[in-house]
Amino acid sequence: MKNLSVAVLVLAALFVFPVTGPALAALQVDVTQGNAQPLPIAIPDFVASDPGQAAMGAQIAGVVRADLDRSGLFKSIDPRAFVERITNINVAPTFASWRAINAQGLAAGQVEVLSTGQIRVSFRLWDVFGESQMDGRILTTQPNDWRRIAHQISDFIYERVTGEKGYFDTRIVFISESGPALKRVKRLAVMDEDGANPIFLTRGEYMVLTPRFNPTAQMIAYMSYIDTKPRVYLFDLETGKQEMLGNFPNMTFSPRFSPDGNKVAITLENGGNSDIYVMDLRSHQMTRLTSDPAIDTAPSFSPDGRQIAFESDRGGSKQVYLMNADGSGQHRVSFGAGENGTPVWSPRGDLIAFTKQHGSHFTVGVMRFDGSGERMLTNAYHDEGPTWAPNGRVLMFNREAQNGRGSQIWSVDVTGRNERRVMTPGDASDPAWSPLLK
Amino acid sequence: MNRISSSVKFTVLAAALLMSACTTKPQATNTAPPPASPPPMAAAPQTSSIIPGSEQDFKVNVGDTVHFALNQFNIEDADRGTLQKQAAWLAKYPAVRLTLEGDCDERGTREFNLALGARRANAIKEFLVAQGVATGRLETVSYGKERPVCTESNEGCWAQNRRGVSTVTGGATS
């Protein structure tokens, strides 16, 4: 699995008409409001320079529409309502005809095939009421990477309109589940953020759990029961090789990379007791961070790498704790109702997502890193194991049905709105979101 | 004489029932209908279809499973007898090695339950070692909440899933 590459150029604005005054700042979305009022945007099928590319032009626009709709911040307008037909993206559109269908944004694009066999996709984002170009890009890649171009265009539009980085050109590593409830087969798998291109990385002859991406999205740390010995492994997506992380006589589990990718925090069990360690991937040196006789597990680094949140029952109930990256200054931060675990630091650094347990009821929520401002985002029977989109605005998690009726991946906005099921091939659990791909 | 033979017959039947409940490959001798007339005493060794020192002997005549309270890993009084029998059996068959598996119900995060399962497996190990079993004969493994034996989301089921299972992994008579 090679690192795919897409070349991006900025497409110069068209200076063909005067900029009008008052409506200039019209096209923007406040991401902190969730999907309270999604922005209507028109995205016609991309124009094809030759008829053979018409299908790809339609597919790319379709993926962009689906991406933006899924965010809950945009509402793509049904193309059947369009009045004007875009035939050349280098000519300014007739804005009145887009205002007539209440489009506030218009993203028009075209697809060309180059003599090298690559495809070149250009698009312009227009502020329909401000009658101005907001963004314009040219993206070039191999034809079979057309979905990545579509996701990158979605990211450009999302960023230009919300002021925040997007998260569509990303991947999800997860556990694919199949078989009866008492004999589940669990396989390591990756897919695009929208569920496309699922790839199975293990065959299911041994159980795998809790996969996590490294910061370049090229390496996955996960736990595997190869030879019925539960240990943390590293899977290199570039080479397809997997290797055990260290060589320990006992169970290692709950891996998570440091933000610089040079270390992995893990839990090591010894004589029944579980403590948190950090392994330096270059020197393979292990540093012990906790030594409490209680259970310490599920470590997660802060984005600056200076602190680690973790789950412990040292105070008599399972709660979220914090420590410095060297293990000093361990203290409890969750004091809300019930028990709280699996803390995961937001890439923005402002919030910690976690799993709250009330008896048999599990929900996913967020709190500030000092434990204040606790807010639950979901309310089902069993939601567990949150993971953040790289922009810190959306989370995915694992939703298990009652009575062993299976597990699915869902997403929810950090505002608690826009809860959606994520498309997976069959049942799935333990999602982990990659950073934006390079 | 009559009373003795009927009690012998009962023992044989109970063993047959246990066999069919616990094994996937029932022995042919156990599926044969019992003779109409009380069998002579010599027929009693029908129980010998379970070979002493075998995996089946351990499962059926010793008991391989103990249970735990919610979030707990201490050995319950009710289970001490089972583990004492396991230790005695291991003393009798010194070549046998066991894997001790710790399992949890669904009421814990995946990571925490892996740790809790390890605690349970280790508690069984410590009990057996205290009974004189050599540490080197015992391996532990935690499956957290990943290997339920019952899927209903209620206490009856959770109680079954919070368990420790001892499995013969080597040295058994076959």
ipTM of the complex: 0.93
Q: At what angle do helices B77-92 and B110-130 cross, to 10 degrees?
A: 60
* pTM of the full structure: 0.88
A185 inside domain: yes
For chain A, percent of residues with pLDDT exceeding 70: 94
* A315 close to B (CB below 8 A): no
Residues A97 and A233 in one domain: no
Output phi, psi for A364, to 5 deg. Answer: -110, 135
Better-predicted residue by pLDDT, A47 or B40: A47
* A384 close to B (CB below 8 A): yes
Say whether A311 and B71 touch across the interface (CB within 8 A). no
Say whether A210 and B110 touch across the interface (CB within 8 A). yes
Residues A121 and A215 in one domain: no
Q: For residue B16, what pLDDT band results from cuts at 50, 70 and 90?
A: very low
Look up the domain containing A412 and give its range: 171-433
Written as six digits, the tokens of A87 are 């035939």
- Which of A162, A183, A203 terminates a domain? The answer is A162
SS (H, E, C) chain A: CCCCCCEEEECCCCCCCCCCCCCCCCCCCCHHHCCCCCEEEECCCCEECCHHHHHHHHHHHHHHHHHHHHHCCEEECCHHHCCCCCCCCCCCCCHHHHHCCCCCEEEEEEEEECCCCCEEEEEEEEECCCCEEEEEEEEEECHHHHHHHHHHHHHHHHHHHHCCCCCCCCEEEEEEEECCHHHCEEEEEEEECCCCCCEECCCCCCCEEEEEECCCCCEEEEEECHHHCCEEEEEECCCCCEEECCCCCCCEEEEEECCCCCEEEEEEEECCEEEEEEEECCCCCEEECCCCCCCEEEEEECCCCCEEEEEECCCCCCEEEEEECCCCCCEECCCCCCEEEEEEECCCCCEEEEEEEECCEEEEEEEECCCCCCEECCCCCEEEEEEECCCCCEEEEEEECHHHCCEEEEEEECCCCCCEECCCCCEEEEEEECCCCC
Q: For residue B12, what pLDDT band results from cuts at 50, 70 and 90?
A: very low
Among A223, A253, A290, A398, the residue to mutate for chain B (most B Cβ within 10 A):
A253
pLDDT in tens, B44-90: 445 568 999 999 999 999 999 999 999 999 999 999 999 999 999 99
Q: Residue A370 pLDDT > 90, yes or no?
A: yes
Alpha-carbon separation of residue A196 from A72, A147, B16, B34 (angstroms):
19, 9, 53, 61
Say whether B109 and A269 touch across the interface (CB within 8 A). no
Say how many Å lie between the first and final Cα of chain B, rounded: 35
pLDDT in tens, A10-50: 777 665 444 444 444 456 777 676 556 899 999 999 999 88
Interface of B with A (CB under 8 A): 71, 73, 99, 106-112, 114-116, 118-119, 121-123, 125-126, 140-142, 146, 148-153
* A294 close to B (CB below 8 A): no
Residues A228 and A294 in one domain: yes
**Taking CB atoms and an 8 Å cutoff, what residues of chain B touch A271?**
122
Q: Average pLDDT for residues A405-427, to the nearest whole number?
A: 96
- A127: how many CB neighbours lie within 10 A of its CB? 22
Nearest by CB: B109 against A230, A341, A403: A341
**Taking CB atoms and an 8 Å cutoff, what residues of chain A touch B108?**
318, 341, 357
For residues B17 and B30, the answer to whether their CB atoms sit within 8 Å is no
pLDDT in tens, A260-308: 999 999 999 999 999 999 999 999 999 999 999 999 999 999 999 999 9
Q: Residue A383 pLDDT > 60, yes or no?
A: yes
pLDDT at position A438 is 85
Residues A295 and A369 in one domain: yes
Residues A186 and A256 in one domain: yes
Shortest distance, CA A128 to any CA of chain B (angstroms): 49
Shortest distance, CA A157 to any CA of chain B (angstroms): 37
* A404 close to B (CB below 8 A): yes
A3 inside domain: no
Residues A157 and A193 in one domain: no
Residues A258 and A350 in one domain: yes
A175 inside domain: yes
Residues A123 and A248 in one domain: no
A6 inside domain: no
Q: Average pLDDT for residues A40-67, to the nearest whole number?
A: 95
* A311 close to B (CB below 8 A): yes
Cα A312 to Cα A299: distance, rounded to the nearest angstrom:
10
Say whether A357 and B141 touch across the interface (CB within 8 A). no
- Which of A128, A162, A196 terminates a domain? The answer is A162
For chain B, percent of residues with pLDDT exceeding 90: 70
Q: Give the H or E element holding residue B164.
A: strand B163-170
Shortest distance, CA A350 to any CA of chain B (angstroms): 23
A56 inside domain: yes
Q: Residue A65's closest CA among A83, A50, A51, A46?
A: A46
By CA distance, what is B169's nearest residue in A? A228
Q: Residue B102 pLDDT > 70, yes or no?
A: yes
Residues A242 and A327 in one domain: yes
Better-predicted residue by pLDDT, A51 or A1: A51
Shortest distance, CA A409 to any CA of chain B (angstroms): 15
Cα atoms in the 13 Å half-sphere on the side-chain side of A118: 13
Q: Residue B39 pLDDT > 50, yes or no?
A: no
Q: Residue B6 pLDDT > 70, yes or no?
A: no
Say whether A254 and B107 touch across the interface (CB within 8 A). no
Q: Average pLDDT for residues B87-110, to the nearest whole number?
A: 97
Written as six digits, the tokens of A403 are 């009575």
Shortest distance, CA A432 to any CA of chain B (angstroms): 14
Better-predicted residue by pLDDT, A429 or A22: A429
Q: Say which CATH number the domain at A57 has.
A: 3.40.50.10070
- Which of A118, A142, A162 terminates a domain? The answer is A162
Say whether B119 and A272 touch across the interface (CB within 8 A). yes
Q: For residue A309, what pLDDT band results from cuts at 50, 70 and 90?
A: very high
Shortest distance, CA A329 to any CA of chain B (angstroms): 22
pLDDT at position A300 is 98
Q: Residue B26 pLDDT > 90, yes or no?
A: no
Q: Say which CATH number the domain at A236 has.
A: 2.120.10.30
The domain total for chain A is: 2
Residues A181 and A273 in one domain: yes
Residues A189 and A333 in one domain: yes
Written as six digits, the tokens of A144 are 């079979």
A1 inside domain: no
Residues A127 and A182 in one domain: no
Q: Which domains does chain B have, with CATH numbers?
A: 55-170 (3.30.1330.60)
A18 inside domain: no
A5 inside domain: no
